[in-house]
């Protein structure tokens, strides 16, 4: 992948995840207990983590796939799946095991690990949308 692809993808990923993190914050207990400064830090901190996860998932997908599958649907599915797997693990570890954060009662949860629906949807939807948008933008730039 050319450097321009990575820059565009990570920038789109940062913007999309920043908006998602801000929107889902009321589904976490921190919404009721933190100061505005702490909430802003949480949004930025989580967005930074999201960008790192997205970049790592894409890099691992590129390494794992044969060259013939590194474009198109195969890459989108692999990168999305890796990000989603990490998210399910991370949410379980940080909510259930380490108690680093907690969900508000309003957060619907998925079995069997108790993953919040919002972070699950975040990682099911945003990586493919950002990958497709990046490809579309770069195709338009070369015309």
Res 143: pLDDT: 58
pTM: 0.92
- Contact between 119 and 83 under an 8 Å Cβ cutoff? The reply is no
Distances (CA, A) of 11 to 49, 63, 80, 127: 13, 22, 17, 12
Q: Per residue in 53-108, pLDDT tens? A: 999 999 999 999 999 888 889 999 999 999 999 999 999 999 999 999 999 999 99
Does residue 112 have a cis bond before it (omega within 30 degrees)? yes
Distance between CA atoms of residues 64 and 75, nearest Å: 10
Share of the chain above pLDDT 90, in %: 89
Res 139: pLDDT: 85
Does pLDDT of 141 surpass 90?
Answer: no
Residue labelled with tokens 């999201």: 50
Does pLDDT of 136 surpass 70?
Answer: yes
Q: Per residue in 4-30, pLDDT tens? A: 999 999 999 999 999 999 999 999 999
């Amino acid at each position: 992948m050319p450097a321009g692809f990575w820059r565009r993808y990570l920038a789109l990923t940062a913007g999309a995840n920043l908006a998602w993190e801000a929107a889902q914050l009321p589904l976490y207990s921190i919404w009721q207990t933190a100061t505005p400064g702490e909430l802003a830090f949480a949004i930025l901190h989580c967005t930074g983590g999201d960008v790192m996860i997205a970049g790592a998932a894409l890099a691992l997908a590129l390494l794992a796939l044969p060259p013939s599958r590194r474009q198109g649907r195969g890459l989108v599915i692999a990168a999305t799946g890796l990000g989603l797997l990490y998210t399910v693990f991370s949410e379980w570890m940080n909510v259930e095991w380490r108690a680093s954060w907690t969900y508000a009662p309003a957060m619907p949860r998925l079995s069997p690990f108790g993953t919040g629906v919002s972070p699950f949807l975040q990682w099911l939807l945003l990586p493919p949308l950002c990958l497709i948008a990046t490809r579309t933008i770069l195709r338009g730039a070369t015309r």
